[in-house]
C-alpha cells in the first residue's frame, strides 16, 4: 500500500516510516523542513510540508494519492499549547480537518494519533468507551480533532497512546527514557514526579500496533500503550536498576513541585484488551522494553 505519514520527523514518525518501508509499503513521509529520518529506502519519499498551510499537503495528496493517511503531526507539548492556544488549535484541529477533507477525496483510510490527555485523570486505566474530559488545552484540541475525524466519510481509526518513549533520534526532542538515561549517565541529579500514573509506551510497540491497523484496516477508537502502569519516578528506578546507574540521583517529587501552565491528569493509563483481542497487539513489559533499548 501507499501510505502518507505526517509528522515524520518526530519520535513516532521516524520509527513508523522505517517500519512501513521495511514491511513493503510505499511511504510518503512529510514534515516541516528537511528530513531528519536518518534512513533511506527505495520505497520512501520525503516532502517538506507545513500542515498549517492551506494547500501544501493537498498538492502532495493530489500528486501521490496515498491509500492510507497516518496523521501524527501536532503540537504536543502541554505547556506550549497552553501558552500558544491559537497556534495549537491551528496545528491540532484545523490542519486535521483540512487533511481529512483531502483524504476523503484521494485516500481510503485515515488514522489519527491522539493521547491519554483527552481524559481528566480521575481514575485511570481508561477504555475506548470512557467519556473524554480534558483538563488542558492540548487535551481539548485533541478531543476536537477526534470529533472531526469521526465525521469522516471514509473508514477511520483514532489511536490514543500514552507517554511514548524510546531511543532519542538524532536531532530529536528528549523523551522520558532518553532524559532519565542521559541524566544519570552524566551523573546529574533530577527531579521525577511520583504522583502521575501512566502506562508508558515503547515507541516500537506503538508502531507495531499502527502497522496492525494498516494491515487489517480496522475502524474506530483504539488504545495502544504499554501494559504496565507506573509513575515516571518508578520508571526511572527501573531504568537505573536495569542499567546499573545511580538511583540516588533521582529525587521523588509531586506535580506541585513544578509551576506549569498546563495541567496534567494524575491518573491515566489504558485498558488495551480491545487491541490485544482484535488486533493481536502485544506490547513488551517495562523490563523487556528497557532490555530491548539497551541493545
Asked whether residue 278 is domain-assigned, the answer is no
* Per-residue pLDDT tens digits for 173-203: 899 999 999 999 999 999 999 999 999 999 9
C-alpha cell at 211: 502497522
CA atoms within 13 Å, Cβ hemisphere of 4: 32
Asked whether residue 182 is domain-assigned, the answer is yes
8 Å CB contact between 267 and 117? no
* Per-residue pLDDT tens digits for 198-232: 999 999 999 999 999 999 999 999 999 999 999 99
Same domain for 115 and 186? no
Same domain for 140 and 187? no
* pTM greater than 0.95: yes
C-alpha cell at 14: 521516524
Residues in the chain: 295
CATH number for 191? 3.90.25.10
The average pLDDT across 128-132 equals 98
Same domain for 13 and 130? yes
* Per-residue pLDDT tens digits for 61-113: 999 999 999 999 999 999 999 999 999 999 999 999 999 999 999 999 999 99
Same domain for 149 and 129? yes
Which domain, by its residues, includes 193?
176-197+229-269+283-294
Same domain for 101 and 235? no
Same domain for 207 and 67? yes
Same domain for 214 and 235? no
CATH number for 67? 3.40.50.720
Number of domains in the chain: 2
Same domain for 112 and 187? no
Same domain for 16 and 154? yes
**Which of 281, 196, 285, 208 has the alpha carbon at shortest distance from 242?**
285
Amino acid at each position: 500500500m501507499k501510505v502518507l505519514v505526517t509528522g515524520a520527523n518526530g519520535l513516532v514518525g521516524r520509527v513508523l516510516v522505517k517500519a512501513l518501508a521495511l514491511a513493503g509499503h510505499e511511504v510518503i513521509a512529510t514534515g516541516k523542513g528537511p528530513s531528519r529520518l536518518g534512513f533511506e529506502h527505495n520505497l520512501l519519499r520525503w516532502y517538506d510540508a507545513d500542515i498549517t498551510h492551506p494547500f501544501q499537503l493537498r498538492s502532495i495528496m493530489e500528486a501521490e494519492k496515498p491509500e492510507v493517511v497516518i496523521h501524527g503531526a501536532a503540537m504536543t507539548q502541554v505547556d506550549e499549547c497552553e501558552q500558544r492556544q491559537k497556534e495549537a488549535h491551528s496545528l491540532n484541529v484545523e490542519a486535521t480537518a483540512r487533511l481529512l477533507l483531502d483524504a476523503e477525496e484521494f485516500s481510503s483510510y485515515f488514522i489519527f494519533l491522539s493521547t491519554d490527555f483527552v481524559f481528566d485523570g480521575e481514575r485511570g486505566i481508561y477504555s475506548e468507551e470512557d467519556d473524554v474530559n480534558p483538563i488542558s488545552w492540548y487535551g481539548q484540541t485533541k478531543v476536537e480533532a477526534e470529533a472531526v475525524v469521526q465525521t469522516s466519510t471514509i473508514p477511520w481509526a483514532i489511536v490514543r497512546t500514552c507517554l511514548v518513549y524510546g531511543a532519542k533520534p538524532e536531532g530529536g526532542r528528549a523523551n522520558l527514557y532518553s532524559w532519565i538515561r542521559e541524566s544519570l549517565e552524566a551523573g546529574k541529579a533530577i527531579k521525577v514526579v511520583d504522583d502521575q500514573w501512566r502506562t508508558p509506551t515503547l515507541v516500537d510497540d506503538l508502531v507495531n500496533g499502527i502497522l496492525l491497523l494498516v494491515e487489517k484496516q480496522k475502524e474506530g477508537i483504539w488504545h495502544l500503550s504499554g501494559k504496565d502502569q507506573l509513575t515516571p519516578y518508578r520508571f526511572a528506578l527501573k531504568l537505573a536498576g536495569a542499567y546499573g546507574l545511580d538511583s540516588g540521583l533521582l529525587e521523588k517529587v509531586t506535580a506541585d513541585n513544578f509551576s506549569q501552565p498546563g495541567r496534567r491528569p494524575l491518573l491515566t493509563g489504558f485498558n488495551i484488551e480491545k487491541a490485544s483481542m482484535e488486533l493481536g497487539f502485544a506490547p513488551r513489559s517495562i523490563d523487556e522494553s528497557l532490555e530491548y533499548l539497551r541493545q
